[in-house]
Structure formats: C-alpha cells, structure tokens
Amino acid sequence: MKSFLWIAVASTLLLISVSAQGLDDFPRGNPYGRHPGIDFMVRTGTPVIAPADGKVTEIRKFEGSRPWQGGWIVRISHADQSHSQYLHLSEIYIELGQSLTRGQLIGLSGAPNSGKAHLHFCICASAGRCIDFSETLDPDNFWLGSSPQCFRPGNDYSRHSQRELTLPLACGDYAQELIARIKATGSKR
C-alpha cells in the first residue's frame, strides 16, 4: 500500500508540473518563454529538498523588474561536477558552503512571480550558468532508477550514484514532517 501511495504522489507531482525540459508556458515575454529545466507547479510553502548529496555553492535573492523574477536562488554542487539549481524559493534554511545529504531541507517553494507559485529546478553543466539550453542538462536523464521518485526517509541510497536524483520536493508524510519541524523550531537562515 505504501509503495502505491509513493507512486501516486510522484505521479501527481509530475502531472501537475511542466515536466518536459523547456516546454513551459509561463508568459515571460521574448526571449524568456521557453527555458531549460522543470517548473513544478506546487503550493507556496512546499518543502524543497536536496535530490542528492552536495555542497551549497550559491544563495542569492532573485530580484528584478520582470514579472517572472522573485524569491531565492540556491545552487548545489554534486560529486559528478554537475550542479542543481532551485529558483523562486520563499524561504531558505541552509547556509553557503554547507554540505547537504539527499532529502535534507533546502527551503520552501512559492515566491511570487508570474502569478503562479512554483519551483524551477534545473541541472547545470559544470561551468554553466543554467540560463541557456547549452548550459543545462535534461533532468530526465538523472532520475533515480530512470523515473522520478520521492525521497523516502530510511531508504538506503548508498548503492546509488550521486548522479541519480530523487525529486527535489518532499512528498507525503515526509513533507508534513518537515513543515511541522519548521513550525516547531521557527528556524530560518
């Protein structure tokens, strides 16, 4: 039953996300219509987690005059020299230089931009800025077991490469646990 629940949660996340790289319909104005990565359409306050072990290499406010800009940007370096990037976070709970483990809380999604709360997630080539398609890698080539899966606390991920990623969003009971922990401690960056 639990396996079915995890599959249902992962499938739902993918169905409500714009999951094909570059095929998003956010109105950005030329030239920002289609862009690399995945936009996960989630509620404000959804926990964003590390999809693999890594080190925080960038934290900055994403500010600008364009309607699609807003929130925090976080970038994590991984063992295979790739980087994962998270945009439009409303809150962050990490520090620059911090080492993270798979499933560790990064922050919360949902900074206001273009009228739709979402998490923009992308995999960057080692030297890429993650702005152009030539600087990014297709996330569909990195999913653990070749398909998107929720992180499950207690699972042994040590036999998997750090190149294999779980979803960057906490699912089900784990998401609720992280939210309860944040409310209990009130901790922020």
Mind listing the pLDDT tens digit for each residue in 84-125?
999 889 899 999 999 999 999 999 998 766 567 889 899 987
The string over 145-184, giving b where at least 16 C-beta atoms fall within 10 Å of a residue's C-beta and e elsewhere, is eeebbbbbeeeebeeeeeebbbbbbbbeebbeebbeebee
- Answer yes or no: pTM beyond 0.85: no
> Among the CATH numbers 2.70.70.10, 3.40.50.1100, 3.40.50.2300, 3.30.390.50, which is that of 2-185?
2.70.70.10
Return the structure tokens found at 20.
Answer: 């094909």
Q: So what's the pLDDT on residue 39? A: 86
Q: Are 91 and 119 in contact (CB under 8 A)?
A: no
